[in-house]
Amino acid sequence: MANPQLHPLEVNSLTGEPFLRLRNHKQIIITPPRPEDVVLYPAIMNDPRIYQWLGSPPFPYTSDHAEEWYQKTKTLSNGALEKLDAARDAPDPILLNDCPIRNIRELKEDGSDVLLGDIGIFRVADGKFLVPHGEDINEETKARYKAANDTLPLGDPDIAWTVGYYIIPDYHGQGIMTDALQTLLWDWAVPRMGVRYITGTAFEGNLGSLRVFQKNGFVPSGFFENHIQTRGQWRNLHVVEWKRSYNKPPWGS
């Protein structure tokens, strides 16, 4: 019998792998990371059409980086799934601090699938984005506000979450990432993580990412000049925010 705590995830009847199907692109699913993804990561992350918009992944991106990323994300996924399994007899759905799924894939007619990208929702890791407007941003204030956010209990509406994502260039412009964020946000993050407030970021010039945010109800909340130096270039950063109180599920409550 399927674990009711997995809802709204489906389960692959052949592999037992949980997945979330996108609302508007039924052939696209989000799954946990897989070992076979590791060899695919370097080619994706070394594509200039992707890495120019990402601030944290190293460049050039090596097989060691890929293995490290896989182990990190797989550990988080396994941890979430273990908590869901331990709570299978609980009368109500439990809240989680993590999402067990993040790798975006396209299902093919022959039953195979293709890795398209990644999407993750997690607590804000950089205290810079938590310091209130008008207050000095320094190492002390960043650390203090991050620690305060980290200690808020699950379900607290004041927790500041963030989201990061990418999709391979051949699939740009098809509305897939807009759908992926919308589905993950409303089907998992809100009901299963208690998400009520999310920040998002995009480098200046990343119009595609800004459109994804806008279509999902995010609004501008800040702009940092010379936020970070990547590959020898200083980058400006847009900051956007989403509040549950201002948004409704696009398919009804």
Looking at residue 232, its pLDDT comes to: 82
Q: Phi, psi at residue 76, to the nearest 5°?
A: -65, -40
Residue labelled with tokens 């979450």: 161
The more confidently predicted of residues 229 and 153 is 153
* Segment holding 131, helix H or strand E: none
pLDDT in tens, 80-104: 999 999 999 999 999 999 999 999 9
Looking at residue 253, its pLDDT comes to: 57
Q: Are 240 and 200 in contact (CB under 8 A)?
A: yes
pLDDT, the chain, mean: 96
pLDDT in tens, 108-147: 999 899 999 999 999 999 999 999 999 999 999 999 999 9
Q: Is residue 131 packed enough to be buried (19+ CB in 10 Å), middle (13-18) or exposed (0-12)?
A: middle
Q: Model pTM?
A: 0.96
Local structure of 26: helix, strand or coil: coil
With bands split at pLDDT 50, 70 and 90, how would you rate the model's confidence at 231? confident
CA distance 219 to 213: 8
Which stretches does DSSP call E strand in 97-230? 103-107, 113-123, 161-167, 197-203, 219-230
Residue 2 clears pLDDT 90, i.e. is over it: no
List beta partners, residue 220.
240
pLDDT in tens, 23-79: 999 999 999 999 999 999 999 999 999 999 998 899 999 999 999 999 999 999 999
CA distance 181 to 201: 14
Structure tokens at 121: 């929702």
Residue 252 clears pLDDT 90, i.e. is over it: no
pLDDT in tens, 11-25: 998 899 999 999 999
Residue 187 clears pLDDT 90, i.e. is over it: yes
